Amino acid sequence: MMSDLARTTQGEKPHFIDIARPFSNFGLIEESFEGILPLRRIMSQVRQHDGQTMVIEELKEAPDLAQENEDIKIRCPSFKISKTHRLSFFTKRFSTRRGLSNATEEEFIGYAIVKQDAIPDYGRVTRIYESVIKPSRYVNNFIKGDKEWTCSIVGNLFKVKGYIYAQQNAITNVCAHVALRTAASCFHKDEDMLYREMNELIGIDHVKRKLEPGKGLDTMEMVEILSKAGASCIVADYTNPKRHKNRAPFQKLVYGSIESGFPAIVIFETAENTDVCHAIPIFGHTFNDDTWVYKAELSYFKVGSGMHYIPSESWTSTYIAHDDNYGSNFCIPRMYLHVRRYCNAQNNEVKGCSMDYGNVCYVIGTLPREVRMNAIQAEVIGADYLFTILPQLPNLSDVWPTRLCYYAGVNQLVLRPILIRSDDYSRHLSNIRGWKRKKFEFEIEIEPEGWLWLIELSVPELFSSNKRKIAEVVLRSDVEPKSQRDFNSFLLARVPGYFALYSGGQASNPNYNFIPSGIVDHVELYGCEESM
């Protein structure tokens, strides 16, 4: 990887600007950066974080900037000059290099790199080349898998955690590229996948194949790029109403990735012309404790005869996403985007409604390359195993085993699939406590090491208010799902009072050994451990 990138290269002519009120963000952006919309959004986020100081530096042509400029020159021989500034933001007030050197990483909000290209054939192109701003401070925002990015400010190194945001230049990269850049950061060996590498993979050389308005990357090319970065992709096509009528809701595919800390990309129409689409990366969600959705919806997922449950995705209120046209860390209402609606014509053929546009066309979910089972499959398989365990529970005299069976019987169990490492699960078991703060008495060794699907089981009131669970099923993620029950993927289950281990028997009538665990009530959800 290039070691000296725009975010870490030495800056020149630093200006220290007091951005506390009554400083005008609008004035600065209009006077110095041509009023670009994404920068307005970024400055609004800085204001939300109570930003006090901004440092502006001019940047020399860092290797990644030079690489892009070379490609622009090939695409547009009239390209003359590029000018780049790095803007850095702090909650601390200072006006000198010494004051900056005493700032802490906790006081560092993030940075934005603004690139201005003079291209006579296109005019002046000003955009956010890249930015990372701390996510919102709201407690109901859940963002996982975000990386730590190092930024150099006047020779001082600061780190900020978040998902990288970038804006297309529409010359050598488009919205698909910048969405891929956000998603690929979770998998790429160098974390940041640059546009030239993406273009070389799919044959864009800016001579024989050029990026033209309205003609970006197709979905399979995006998958090829993500796969090369190290991701396993789950792709769903929602362009044909007849084909997607019985397909899983796109929201579940998105949730299946982001809840485990891996971004998804949603591609949707922007007009009636389905050839013109826009791609955005989604990497987080908000959690609404008081949602009415799970009560109102009839779309509980059924597996086999008489088996229903509530997906934890029902509590998602909005998705957290970047939109390269407008800025970073936006909240998008879960039901705002939709797939093409379908209706029955007189000849009983399913067809798209004539006035329906602006629909989700494709969703690309991502997971690590070695994972062979996606979140929806894990949820279904985990639920199936659980329902074979419940009839064999050793002690139904305790209240929580009884409640578990009751909620299962009335189709009110909540299932939450999340992909974690085996050592993370071991730590989770060590950290969680029962309602009376009791620890587990028995330690479970998890083999093999690697990625596991943890399917947590709770009930609506306990899940939403206390962020706690009653039971869980743990599966191997590297086993290809089969159409019939297959215990090759089953590692263990935990129910109130016991760990359940498969002990043999036919797949249709399995047997389990129950090992006392010492906790007979509920414990914290993964990621919500009180003792951490």
Q: Are residues 389 and 317 in the same domain?
A: no
Residues 355 and 432 in one domain: no
pTM, 2 dp: 0.93
Strand partners, 358: none
For residue 128, name the pLDDT band (cuts at 50, 70, 90): very high
| Nearest-angstrom CA–CA distance, 221 and 279 | 13
- Does residue 226 carry a pLDDT above 80? yes
* 148 assigned to some structural domain: yes
Q: Answer yes or no: is 58 within a domain.
A: yes
Q: Are residues 17 and 158 in the same domain?
A: yes
Q: Tell me the pLDDT tens digit for each residue of 464-515.
A: 999 999 999 999 999 999 888 989 999 999 999 999 999 999 988 999 999 9
Residue 241: its pLDDT value, please? 75
Confirm if 45 and 19 have CB atoms less than 8 A apart: no
270 with 250, same domain? yes
The average pLDDT across 286-306 equals 65
| CA gap 305, 430 in Å, rounded | 37
Phi, psi of 156 (to 5 degrees): -100, 135
Residue 71 maps to a domain = yes
DSSP secondary structure, 146-190, as one string: PEEEEEEETTEEEEEEE--B----SSS--HHHHHHHHHHTTT-TT
- My answer on whether 324 and 379 are in the same domain is no
Q: 430-442 pLDDT, tens per residue? A: 999 999 999 998 7
Determine, yes or no, domain membership for 242.
yes
Indicate the range of 39-48, 339-348, 508-517 predicted with least confidence: 339-348
**Chain mean pLDDT for the chain:** 90
Residue 298's pLDDT band (boundaries 50, 70, 90)? very low
As a whole number of angstroms, the distance between CA 454 and CA 418 comes to: 5
- Same domain as 138, residue 108: yes
Q: Is residue 51 located within the same domain as residue 135?
A: yes
Residue 304 in tokens: 């086999």
Q: How many angstroms separate the CA atoms of 219 and 176, rounded?
A: 9
How far apart (Å, rounded) are the C-alpha atoms in residues 168 and 181?
A: 11
Mean pLDDT of 380-407: 92
The residue among 254, 234, 239 whose CA lies nearest residue 318 is: 254
Q: Which two tokens stand for residue 114?
A: 């603004």
Domain boundary among 340, 368, 396: 368
Is-contact 416 505, C-beta < 8 A? no
Domain hosting residue 89, numbered range:
11-162
In a shared domain, residues 56 and 147: yes
Instruction: Say whether both 316 and 414 belong to one domain.
Output: no
Predicted confidence (pLDDT) at residue 352 exceeds the cutoff of 70 = no
Q: How much is the pLDDT for 289?
A: 86
pLDDT at 350 over 60: no
Of 118, 141, 162, the residue that ends a domain is 162
Query: Taking a C-beta distance cutoff of 8 angstroms, is the pair 487, 510 a contact?
Result: yes
User: 336, 368, 400: which is the final residue of a domain?
Assistant: 368
Q: Is the pLDDT of residue 1 over 50?
A: no
Question: Domain total for the chain?
Answer: 3
Distance CA(86)–CA(29), nearest Å, equals: 13
Residue 346 has pLDDT above 90, yes or no: no
User: 244 vs 156, which has greater pLDDT?
Assistant: 156
What is the mean predicted confidence (pLDDT) over 36-61? 95
* Residue 300 resides in a domain: yes
Beta pairing partners, 81: 118
What is the C-alpha separation between 503 and 509, in angstroms, rounded? 11
Residues 262-288: tens digit of each pLDDT: 999 999 988 656 568 899 999 999 998
Is residue 411 located within the same domain as residue 468? yes
CA distance 470 to 521: 7
* Segment of 190-199, 302-311, 437-446 carrying the highest mean pLDDT: 190-199
